[in-house]
Structure 1
Amino acid sequence: MDWKTHAARLADEVVVRAESRWYRPLAATPRHLFVPRWWERTTSGDTHVWQLRNGPHDADNTDGTDAWLRSVYADTTLVTRVGPHHADHAQEGRTLTRGRDLRPASSSTLPSLMTTMYRHAFLTDDTRVLITCGTGYGTALACARLGDQQVTSVDVDPYLVQAARERLASIGYHPRTEVRDLTGDLPEGAYDRIIATVSVRPVPVSWLTALAPGGRLVTTLAGTGLIVVADKTEDGGAVGRVAPDAASFMTARHGDDYVDTFPENAEVWETAQHAEGESITTSRYPLTYVPDTWDLRSTLEILVPGIDHRREEGPDGKRTVYMLHADGSWARATATGVYDSPTVHQGGPRRLWDELDRVRSWLAIDGDLPVRGARVRIRPDGTVRLERSGWSATIE
């Protein structure tokens, strides 16, 4: 199996060979060993489904090996668990109907984003790192760069840790691997870097305690696309900035699944679909589905955290976007043409669409949003303060 040709192609795509210390780890790490099976988003008729992909099974077919390696050595995220269903354990040919109760729960992060997080961490040869485990592929990259004795890799999922440990050992790496909630208790001062490929909100106090003096954390804020890079300060907090790159990671799990993390908002959803709004207006901007954006989504999530975004498209081409909140607030915006101004119905204690339009007005007037490059100050209790050009927001 000529996987090294594919790995070298991936490395050439992700980094500049002559400039990056991550070229060799990318080119020399067999990603296919860490992701033999995964779930792929697809459609079956009018139904959106997760289709099981089995690399070794594909390899048994004509030209299957190349198809497997092309998929695995692409710069893309490969979802390895959906809800309680891990791809390694799924029956051949299995499909899962995509829905709110079947969300991705583990994955192999796209390699370019993995190396972006590592570059922001500014690793040196003697850096002691704590990272999230997942499939173990990112751990293997860190071991190739630093040596396995410098790497601690943790995950809340016992199967993931065991599988990663075995796969790492098969290529000669034996980092410290633990079944542990990354946001829970950690040894004091044990790490120079904490690099999380799960999102958090706020920053766990245990990270600040676990960082050595002058240590750095690199993470994303849950619900946003913001990468926070911050260095520990003498008072036990940290200071830094929002990185210019966008990123999206699954929220950190604290158990086997996302119990009670994603409210269904059933009553609000029923109201939003059918009720006349307490406020009925025409938006000044075209219809926008916020999760498809980076800066709008990030800014709105900081201002009004916890909005549940949904959308529908009718057979006549009419598009409707919904915004729901657990406090009973809702918005329904409907438009036909791509550039038509939507009619907006809103109800509940807050006007969610008005909040969105306020953010879009900032973007239209300033050509930018304040979250880009914002200064970050993390207090010892994990509270995050963002500031830029007179704008500020606190995430508690």
Structure 2
Amino acid sequence: MTDDRCEELADEITASGDLRSPEWRRAVLDTPRHEFLRGGFFRREDGGGRTGWEPVRPGDEEWLPGCYRNESLVTQIAGTVVPTDLDGRIYRLPTSSSTLPGLVVRMLEELNVRDGMRVLEIGTGSGYSTALLCHRLGDETVTSVEVDEEISGRARVALGTVGHHPDLVVGDGLEGHAANAPYDRLIATCGVLDIPAAWPAQVRPGGQILATVGGWLYSSELAGLTVGEDGTATGRLLGGQVSFMLARPQTPPPLGVLPDLGDGPERESSVPWDVMDDWTARFVVQLAAPAGPRSGRRFRGG
């Protein structure tokens, strides 16, 4: 049954154009995603103007089919809460997920890896993408960094279950992992406000970095960069409105007491307020102010 589900998933992401090469198809076919979701996932529930999350656990009717949908599946809420921790609904923000397989595979295809290359993955998460890398390149070539010790531990168990034993590191992925450098490729499965200096410093000249660049306006794009002989990295945006949770050290602070928006001089804007509803417009604004959150308040007559 699992083989059939893996094949159906591979067929779906092949049809979408995300899966293009036989090597990555073989990796998808041989990697049972449900092994990386043994702790369950959260189902989104919207109602009453609020977004809540309800646990789906092994044994639930929708758990196994859900594991093989081409969707991102939330696996942790509020930094600590996992599906086995509660019954009912929770109204907090997701903090970890198993990324939709189509996006994972698209990014792996974009890496343009070759046999023997050494890869640094930023954000182990469930371990599913780590397993695909190990299948394609070999466990000894893969280093994966995860900031959350419990998430890393669960990924280690899942990876071992499917026969993979890469170098898993608990630490701040923004610092990379210099001990195993230099790398031929670096892939980030979390969003960043900018490319940390440590990343190109740990990738050999000619090597590539693939990361999602965004900000607190929650508009982001996938960037493909090549490291030069001088240690700088240049490249282009690859498109597709790719979105990941921001790296935890770069997440915005919780909403507190806002400043008095009625205090101070006022001036009319030359652009309408709703321009910020556009993904591209928000992304362009973030280029100037990645750590600028969006807030609003309607005044009388406004």
TM over 0.5: yes
Out of 139, 143, 162, the residue aligned to residue 134 of structure 2 is: 143
- The 3 A distance-change label for structure 1 pair 158 and 281 is closer
Does the 8 Å contact 2:127/2:156 carry over to 1?
Answer: yes
- The 3 A distance-change label for structure 1 pair 307 and 140 is same
2:149 is equivalent to residue 158 of structure 1: yes
* Amino acid of the structure 2 residue aligned with 1:96: I
- Per the alignment, residue 266 of structure 2 pairs with 278
- Per the alignment, residue 316 of structure 1 pairs with none
How far apart in 2 are the matches of 1:203 and 1:282? Answer: 32
Shift of 1:284: 6.1
2:194 is equivalent to residue 202 of structure 1: yes
- Per the alignment, residue 387 of structure 1 pairs with none
Out of 41, 53, 56, the residue aligned to residue 53 of structure 1 is: 56
* Amino acid of the structure 2 residue aligned with 1:24: R
- The 3 A distance-change label for structure 1 pair 20 and 265 is farther
TM-score, normalised on structure 1? 0.67
Output one character per residue of 1:79-105: Cα deviation in whole Å (capped at 9) or x when no partner.
1111133325413x23212xxxx3221
- The 3 A distance-change label for structure 1 pair 74 and 208 is same
Does the 8 Å contact 1:39/1:52 carry over to 2?
Answer: yes
Out of 119, 136, 143, the residue aligned to residue 109 of structure 2 is: 119
How far apart in 1 are the matches of 2:22 and 2:298? Answer: 47
Greater fraction of residues in strand: 1
The sequence identity of aligned pairs, in percent, is 31
CA RMSD of the aligned region, Å? 2.8
- Per the alignment, residue 26 of structure 2 pairs with 24
How far apart in 1 are the matches of 2:255 and 2:232? Answer: 35
2:4 is equivalent to residue 5 of structure 1: yes
How far apart in 1 are the matches of 2:56 and 2:152? Answer: 21
Does the 8 Å contact 1:15/1:22 carry over to 2?
Answer: no
Does the 8 Å contact 2:42/2:83 carry over to 1?
Answer: no
Out of 77, 91, 96, the residue aligned to residue 106 of structure 1 is: 96
SS of equivalent residue, structure 2 residue 174: coil
How far apart in 1 are the matches of 2:174 and 2:210? Answer: 14
Does the 8 Å contact 2:193/2:290 carry over to 1?
Answer: no
Does the 8 Å contact 1:3/1:69 carry over to 2?
Answer: no
2:244 is equivalent to residue 252 of structure 1: no
TM-score, normalised on structure 2? 0.86
Does the 8 Å contact 2:27/2:135 carry over to 1?
Answer: yes
How far apart in 2 are the matches of 1:222 and 1:196? Answer: 13
How far apart in 2 are the matches of 1:333 and 1:139? Answer: 49
- Per the alignment, residue 174 of structure 1 pairs with 165
2:207 is equivalent to residue 215 of structure 1: yes
SS of equivalent residue, structure 1 residue 264: coil
How far apart in 2 are the matches of 1:107 and 1:333? Answer: 38
Shift of 1:44: 5.2
